[in-house]
A and B are shown apart, each in its own frame.
Chain A
């Protein structure tokens, strides 16, 4: 047996023993786990599952063991994911800390920062949010104006962030702040970690077209952030910011795959067969069937491209722009096809006349409209591909 097969056996045995029964059933939104100081566990088994996975470091399988990660290589990580998938295990932890911040702390953070923050991220003890966009700085992110003044032992932060996902539930925020107001716009930005419990931080949820409020406005009013919370060098935060965006975009790319990312988890083919009917096992309506086939073929080729990128060693920063662009546009297309297959059943807003699943799809359809805006719009991604990959002139 190869080492990898031995590892697979170990993983499978461990999961058999440690993954609680209810964690192998389809996820219900109320039971999603994000961890943090104020985490609420509707289902006590989700807490147990997080603790066990966190203890192994398998919530962040590829991060080093010395900081609490799993210390697995690429192939081992793949095996772990395959085994988790096999038993239909729920994700033990959803975490912006793991998806975005941790890789940047590993690359740019000080030893103290690694020891302080990584273990808590991996165990789900601290929940992070992302302070990037501002009311005046969306696609033109580098024009941000939240300022951090050097006060000796701390920075004094004043300004406003927007589209901060789950800021009202987060414990800490990683924020881009302007520390060099006289510098050119890209050269005066720093990457600062701020405790949301600090005096002067406040948040206000934003209600979206889906009726939900995953995003907030976040206000900083004379907030004191200790100097040791600066990641990397002052005024060179833009490099870290871009790197983090790549991690974010790679993550969002998975939305392009059925069942990836947020949404209802519904499959467009089964939905179409259910609401349009079947004709000898085929989706009964030929035009709908054609549209869905086209969509599924693109998805297949896109999935193969994600796989190829991994097999090639996951190089090229511009690849993340391509994946972000394609994956989010594809996810929007999926939900358009879904509600169109459902006819008037795809238009429900509340329980009068609509099942929970039907409403969830309608809400998810509305939610997908933000996919191609958050993390850099589709147009920004196309700009990045034009400039960085194709080397077209500006």
Chain B
């Protein structure tokens, strides 16, 4: 495994960089926020991404995708992360696609994957039920009555839950809360009876919902693949999501750092540029080191995923951990080094801080992944 990008991946990265610079600079996000856009992403921009093939990067060619792998989509998310570009890429093209691809029957793949590739359908994956990410702490139930599945329970903090056409729901078909056995995934239309979707308002101004199921009744074919055995696959899907998320967070970090270093080179106090102060220089240099470590951890994790390495879990946790720690540090330092202007809404740097804390929570905080890494490593 070489820790560099292939030509193909570099090309996708360059394309995404131009896209973000030309079509979705940070102002694009500001406008979505100011307009109170409920989806928190722009339809026409999403259709342009679809045209570029980004919706189908993880979709096998037989279903209309390009099968470019997690590295392909991650480098795009990294570039979009630099300008805080919101899009359904994570919830639909990483989580939705992977869940259907890894779990679904051939019929289900044929039904859903081409619709995702064409931009006709977006998805959301409903896993968590508590205040903290924990994919096995699931109480929501699904029981088979006659030939219908009846779902009951409560999901929280579902990414893109407020807009997705299809909701993928992880529910317990056997076993106890905390167990990875006995989990199954169901696919439900957003307008299904018994599905109550309530958008929540978060600091990063993105699209999340809490989703209640009260006697949500689904046809037998709403079960993705087989019953009871989704636990391991969900963990694998989440690992891919963690890597893509870590990559986006790396993009957030790189840009917040870039903006800050530029500011150090233009802001004068006491008659000199503040970037000449060693107190700031050394903090900037330390951030640089952490960013370099993050780049390596993210690269290693995305390649491990694409090569089906048995190190995937450990490297995915390392990437999400390192990306979270670094973004946390850089988002705080960015505000502090900007001084007063850093805490104004008018200036973009605050957006990075608000996005940072939400991103850190998604699919597990640094603490979560530190604990997971320790267990996997046998410490």
Contact = CB atoms under 8 A, between A and B. Distances in A.
A and B associate = yes
B276 interface: yes
Interface stretch (A40-48, A149-157, A301-309): A301-309
Contacts of A392: 261, 264-265, 275-276, 280-281, 284
Contacts of A391: 265
B379 A283 contact: yes
B265 A393 contact: yes
A325 B370 CA distance: 24
Contact of A385 (B285, B293, B300): B285
Interface in A270-309: 281-283, 289-290, 292-294, 296-298, 300-302, 304-305, 307-308
B289 A294 contact: no
Interface in A149-179: none
A311 B303 CA distance: 14
B29 interface: no
A390 interface: yes
A385 B289 contact: yes
Given A296-B379, A386-B281, A289 B374 contact: yes
A297 B296 contact: no
A392 B288 CA distance: 13
Contact of A394 (B276, B284, B297): B276
Interface string B254-295: 000000010011000000110110101110111011001111
A312 to B, nearest CB: 6
Interface in A365-393: 379, 381-383, 385-386, 389-393
Interface string A303-326: 011011001100000000010011
Do most interface residues of chain B lie in helix, strand or loop, or is the interface mixed? helix
Contacts of B294: 301
Interface string B12-32: 000000000000000000000
A270 B174 CA distance: 39
Nearest to A272: B379
A297 B318 contact: yes
Do most interface residues of chain A lie in helix, strand or loop, or is the interface mixed? helix
A269 interface: yes
A326 B289 contact: yes
A296 B322 CA distance: 12
A393 B373 contact: no
Contacts of B282: 379, 382-383, 386
B46 to A, nearest CB: 33
Nearest to A281: B378
B297 A301 contact: yes
A308 to B, nearest CB: 4
B268 to A, nearest CB: 10
Interface residues of B, number: 37
A293 B318 contact: no
A269 B282 CA distance: 31
A297 B261 contact: no
B370 A294 contact: yes
B343 interface: no
Chain A, interface size category, equals 35 or more
B4 A312 contact: yes
B362 to A, nearest CB: 19
A297 B289 contact: no
Contacts of B300: 304
A389 B288 contact: yes
Contacts of A282: 374, 378-379
B289 A393 contact: no
A297 B281 contact: no
A139 to B, nearest CB: 13
Nearest to A387: B281
A298 B322 CA distance: 8
B358 interface: no
A2 to B, nearest CB: 15
A239 B322 CA distance: 36
Contact of A304 (B264, B297, B370): B297
A293 B366 CA distance: 12
Contact of A308 (B276, B289, B295, B373): B295
Interface in B322-339: 322
- Which of A325, A385, A386, A394 has the largest count of B CB atoms less than 10 A from its CB? A386
Given A297-B318, A393-B265, A311 B284 contact: no
Given A269-B379, A293-B370, A297-B318, A382 B296 contact: no
A315 to B, nearest CB: 12
A390 B285 contact: yes
B288 A308 contact: no
Contacts of B275: 392-393
Interface in A76-93: none
Contacts of B371: 293
B53 to A, nearest CB: 27
A322 B370 contact: no
Given A293-B377, A386-B282, 18 more contacts: A281-B378, A293-B373, A294-B370, A296-B373, A296-B377, A301-B294, A305-B293, A307-B3, A307-B296, A308-B296, A308-B299, A312-B4, A382-B286, A389-B288, A390-B288, A392-B264, A392-B276, A392-B284
20 contacts: A293-B370, A293-B373, A297-B318, A298-B293, A301-B318, A301-B322, A302-B293, A304-B293, A308-B3, A308-B299, A311-B2, A311-B4, A379-B282, A381-B285, A382-B281, A383-B281, A385-B285, A386-B284, A393-B272, A393-B275
